[in-house]
Structures are given as C-alpha cells and as structure tokens.
Chains A and B, each alone.
Chain A
Amino acid sequence: MIFRISKSVILLGLIVCAFLACTNSDDYLFNEQDLQEIEVSAVITNSFENDAEKKKTDTIQPGDSLIFLTTVKPSKSIRNRQYYWTMDGSNFASEYSFKKNINDPGIHKIAFVFIDFFGDTLSDTITITVASSPIIDTEKFIPANKTQNIDPDSTIHFAWNSYDPDSLWETFFRFVLQNSEQDTLIDTLLHQANFSSHKKLSPLQKYTWTVTAYNEFNQESKESLSASFFTEGRDGENGVSGIIGSNSNLDKQDFKLILLDSIQTPLDTLHLARNDHFNINPLAKGKYSLIASVEDATDFRPDTIQFHLGANQILELDSIVLRDITPPRIQTLTGSDTLDLSDTLRFIVYDLGGPIPESKISVYYENQYLENVTLSKDTLYIPFIKEASAQNWTCKFILINITDASNNKLKQSFYLRPNTTLSEVFGE
C-alpha cells in the first residue's frame, strides 16, 4: 500500500517536473527590449524615380496627379489588421502606394492610417493645397490696347478684370510699365485690379504695360495682360512709329528709313538694325511718306508707306517687313551651262539679299553628293580631282542647289564636257 502511494507520488512528481521543464515562465514575462516598434510615414512625389523629391506638403492645380508613398517600419509585411488612406476624413485609397489626382480646390489633409495586429492605430498626414491659377482678362481692359493721345502729364488710370476660379484665394497683381526702350518705369505689386500712375511721361512716346495675376500660393496666371498706349503730342505735334524687319534669316541687317513730306522732300533719314523700333517726332499735321529699304541689299524691294498725321497722335505703323523674293544667281566663268572637267570647278555665285551661308549650298555629281565645296566671296569652288583624272567619253551632269538667307531657292544644272572619246577609250 505504501509502495503504491509512493509510486503515485513519484509519478505525480515526474509529471510536475515534466510540465515545469516544458514551461519556461521567463519566456512569458514582458521584456521591453523585445518590443518591436512600428513606424509609418507618408509622402508625396511626382515621379517614381528614386531621386525624385518627396514632400509632406505641396500645392497643385486641380486635376494634377500625385504619387502617394508609404513607409512602414520594420516592414510592410508585418501583421496588421487594416491600412487605408483618408482625405479630409473620407475614404481616399486602400493601397500602400498609388497615383491619384485631386480635383477639389481647397486645403486637404490626407492621412495614411495603419492599424497593427494589436489594434493600435498609427497614422501620418500630408497636406495638399489644390488651387487654380487666377485668370486675368487679356482682351478687355482700360485703357484699350494702342490708345492714343494719353496726356503725359496727367494721372493715368489702368483697370482690368481678374477672378479666382476657385473663389477661395486672394489675388494680387504685378503691374509693370515700360517705355519704348524697355526701361521699366513702374514695377509694383497690387491687391486691387486697378492702378493709377502719377508718373510724368514724355509726349509722343509709346509705353507698354503688363499685368500678371498671382494667387496667395504664388501661382501665376497662365496669361498676362500686355498692352501699349501712346502719349499725346503738344501743340499739334505728331509722330510716327513702328518696327522694321525683313524675311531674311540674317542676324544683322542694316535698314534705312527716309521720311518725305507731301512734296517728296526728305525730312529725316534713319539707319536701323533688324527689329528696331523707330519713333519719328515731332511732325506737323499733314501727309507724309516713308521709304524703307535694306542697305546694300537690292534684292529687298524698298517699301513706301504713305500716311496722314493730324490729331496730336503717334501713328503706329504695322511692322514694316521688307521682302527678298529673288533667288541667288549662279553662272560659270564663261557664262555657259557646259564646262570643261578640271580638278576644281569654279562658279560665280551671288545674291543681292545678303551673304549666302556655305551650309546652304549642296552639289551633286551624277546624283552623288560632293563634299568640300567652298564659297569664297562670290566664287564657288568644287574640288574634282579624282573625276578629272578619269577618262569620260560622255557628258556628265552636275546639279547645284543654293538657298539664300531669305529662303529663296535656286536649283541649277550644268554639264561637264567629255574629256575623251569613245574610240580613245576603247580603241578602234
């Protein structure tokens, strides 16, 4: 009996020992060092490139796309209950990273919410401002474009229309006033869509004013208002202004303007460069004519403009564009279209609309492009050494293409005489 009891006690002791052995209670004690801290962060970017700038705040236009990225530490693969995005508290997305556009104007709080396995909620917030650029009316404003007779000594009032498409943001304006030499006379920021200039201006001058609208996020209006006006002449004084240019691609051209009165007496002569503004004043009331030409370029036809002055105004002529419609000329030294084969072929090339760039000359020998063609002064040199040494018993064809600076094209063919005969080449 005692043996049986002691046997049971021993058996029980063994079971307890086995249980204790299998159970290490230390493992179930909270150890702070074993804690795995989870961190989440959210950013926005414009590109999936690694080096693309990542931001927590941004200002965009309605409809612009943004890439939303998240980081979960230690890893996105840790166990979690849920993750999602909200915009202003409403559901926005349910992916870790995605691309999406936002259309509603306003300041939006976009939060990435991560609920871990234990139900703890972690989140990170991005702020996005969606704002439309202000709009400025570039057609209707005061004073209208090219208004004449503005008193140079009085206050000039400018007014324009502008609005914020979102009806949410403040709009301000940058107003710039320049004279015809593009010197800035006024450059100011305004909170109202009008401006009064008290600056004394010169009579019979052209002035340009521009206005650009900005919202409070410094977003610029897509278009800027730009207009000009002319100040009034004094005591019956008038003026004439304009811009002169040509259809040539040349960087430098010299223009000449001759102003004639009603009986064709020259009153003034101006020497101008390409796209120069001219302003001739003061001029008395009456009829005038203006002869515009390109100096030393007779391919450009002179243009004669007749006009009448008579209301203390500056007459602004449309841009005077002189045209060269004459193609370049080419001829052989003999004037014939057939020439003898030699190691260098020479042609006289000239154009009275300005110099011809070498790159605009191409030469083909029997449809084969020839290189190393040079133009010196008015002589075109075509090296022909290899072909000259060969015996040709037939006429060869050479084609020359030339385009002048005004894009007038010349395409002319020449013929090379045979330097031998068929019988000389192949014998009797």
Chain B
Amino acid sequence: MSLLSKNNRCVLNICLALVAGGLFSACLHIPDAPSDSSKITSVDVSVKQFGELKESPLKINSDDDAELIAEVTPSKFKNDIKYYWYKGDETLGKGSVYTITTDYMASSKKIEKHIPDKLVIEDNEGNRLKTTFQIVINVPPKLSTETKPEDGEILYGDSHTPILFSWHSSDRDESGQLFHTLEIDGISYNVGDLQQVQQSGFTMGKHTYRILVEDSLGDKDSIPEKEFFVIDSLEGL
C-alpha cells in the first residue's frame, strides 16, 4: 500500500514536473513578431524620363527610354516586398523599376505587348496590393530642318520688305494642334498652329531665327538657330 502510494506519489511528481516543464516551455516560446508589411497603405507608379519624375500624367516620350517606378507608402517597406508588372494577366516584369526601351514604343503592337497597365505588390505573408494605370506613349512632334529662310541665305529688301518664314512640323499621334514659337533675333512670337508667316522690320545685316514646336502633351522639338542676311534692295539689284 505504501509502495503503491510511493509509486503514485512518484507518478504524481513526474506528472507535476511535466506539467511544470510544459508550462515553463510554453512560457519560453516567444511568438514571431507580427509582420507589418501588410501595413503598406498604397502603391503608386511614376514615370522617370529625361531625369524627371512625373506622377501625372503617366506620359512617355517615345524618343527615349523611360522607367516606371513603383513607390509604396510607407516607403520603409519598399525593399521587403515583391513587385509584379502586368499587361492584363501576363506578367511583364518584376522589381520596383520597369524599364521601357524605345524599342518597346516602336509600334502600336509593341506598345500593346510591352507596356504594363497593372502593378501588384506582395509581401512575405502573401498580402497583395494592386494598382492599375495607363501609360500614354507620346510620339513627340517633329520639325523639318528645311525651313525658310535657309541657313545663311541673303535676302534683299529694306525695313518694310516682308521676309517669309516657313517650316513644317508633324506629329504622328497628334490629332490636335501643334503650337509653334518663332524666335527672330531673340524675340519670341507665339504663332500657334501657323507654319508660315511674313515679317518685316529688318535692318541691314545679319539676323537669326529658330523655331520650336510643342504638342498638347508638352513634348517639344526645335531646330538649331539659323541665320540670314538682309541687304539693301537697291544695292542688291
């Protein structure tokens, strides 16, 4: 009886020890710190081109490479998450930066294929956040280098003689107007969509001019400064 009692006491002690050990080990298990990557509140896409970062409008000049840059808020988690760039359901790339080369913008088919419209970010716990966007690929306006007066041209007349300034500009994807600025001897004239004007008031001697064109999305083209010479009409004749 006493032996049984002794055994029972022993079993009881063991059980108590196990319970105590279990409780102790339970107390020793420190849970992992909860992931706070799901605290990312937003993700935005910006375009970086010509050294400038623009959030709106998401417009890319097709003449140069550009980068789509994903920016998360708060930014401290930017390195702890994965980035997936999509076109529809097709994954185009990974990483916080997606590079768009000029080749991607060479044709509408390539644009359709290579320009993403959705960004998904995912943290280590599988939390996902997505944003959709639309990238405008803008073909900048082009100015023909053939203008009047030709570079170095000699023109005869007096201060009242009109001199024809003409140029040609085009824009593959611009259905609206192009805005031109004619600079003559450093004086700017906003000539709107005109592609030729006649101006007078030139003294005898050397004069310079240049033309700039801008489309409705702000992309520009210009020609280098050209010079022409005005000589008195009577002397010229």
Q: Shortest Cβ distance from A273 into chain B, in angstroms? A: 28
Q: Shortest Cβ distance from B208 into chain A, in angstroms? A: 16
| A150 CB contacts on chain B under 8 angstroms | 162, 198
B187 touches A140 (CB 8 A): yes
A321 interface residue (CB < 8 Å to B): no
- Which residues of B150-184 are within 8 A (CB) of A? 157-158, 160-162, 182
B192 touches A147 (CB 8 A): no
A127 interface residue (CB < 8 Å to B): no
Given the interface contacts A148-B161, A149-B162, does A159 sit within 8 Å of B192 by beta carbon? yes
A142 touches B192 (CB 8 A): no
A144 nearest CB neighbor, chain B only: B201
A159 nearest CB neighbor, chain B only: B191
Question: 0/1 per residue, B180-207, Cβ < 8 Å to A?
Answer: 0010000111111110111111000000
Given the interface contacts A142-B191, A146-B160, does A159 sit within 8 Å of B233 by beta carbon? no
- Which residues of A156-202 are within 8 A (CB) of B? 156-157, 159-161, 192-194, 196
Given the interface contacts A161-B189, A161-B190, does A147 sit within 8 Å of B160 by beta carbon? yes
A144 touches B200 (CB 8 A): yes
Chain B interface residue number, banded: 20 to 34
B160 nearest CB neighbor, chain A only: A148
B191 touches A143 (CB 8 A): no
> What's the Cα separation between A238 and B199 when bound, in Å?
20
Given the interface contacts A140-B187, A193-B190, does A147 sit within 8 Å of B197 by beta carbon? no
| Total CB contacts across the A-B interface at under 8 A | 69
| B192 CB contacts on chain A under 8 angstroms | 159, 192-194
| B157 CB contacts on chain A under 8 angstroms | 311
A142 touches B161 (CB 8 A): no
| B197 CB contacts on chain A under 8 angstroms | 142-143, 157, 159
A147 touches B200 (CB 8 A): yes
A147 touches B196 (CB 8 A): no
A221 interface residue (CB < 8 Å to B): no
| B199 CB contacts on chain A under 8 angstroms | 142-144, 147
Given the interface contacts A148-B200, A157-B197, A311-B233, does A142 sit within 8 Å of B160 by beta carbon? no
B187 touches A149 (CB 8 A): no
| A149 CB contacts on chain B under 8 angstroms | 160-162
Query: Considering residues A141, A146, A159, which has the most beta carbons from chain B within 10 angstroms of its beta carbon?
Result: A159
| A146 CB contacts on chain B under 8 angstroms | 160, 200
| A403 CB contacts on chain B under 8 angstroms | none
| B196 CB contacts on chain A under 8 angstroms | 157
A313 interface residue (CB < 8 Å to B): yes
A147 nearest CB neighbor, chain B only: B200
A159 touches B189 (CB 8 A): yes
> What's the Cα separation between A311 and B157 when bound, in Å?
9
Query: Considering residues B158, B162, B188, B197, which has the most beta carbons from chain A within 10 angstroms of its beta carbon?
Result: B162
> What's the Cα separation between A150 and B161 when bound, in Å?
9
| B158 CB contacts on chain A under 8 angstroms | 311
Given the interface contacts A140-B189, A193-B190, does A148 sit within 8 Å of B162 by beta carbon? yes
Given contacts A148-B200, A193-B190, 15 further A-B contacts (CB under 8 A): A141-B189, A142-B182, A143-B197, A143-B200, A145-B201, A147-B198, A147-B200, A150-B162, A156-B198, A159-B190, A159-B192, A161-B188, A161-B190, A192-B193, A311-B233
Name A's B-contacting residues (CB within 8 A): 140-150, 156-157, 159-161, 192-194, 196, 230, 310-311, 313
Provide a sorted-by-A list of 25 A–B residue pairs whose CB atoms are within 8 angstroms: A140-B187, A142-B191, A142-B197, A142-B199, A143-B199, A144-B200, A147-B198, A147-B201, A148-B161, A148-B200, A149-B162, A150-B198, A157-B197, A157-B198, A159-B182, A159-B189, A159-B192, A160-B189, A161-B189, A192-B193, A194-B191, A194-B192, A194-B194, A310-B234, A311-B233
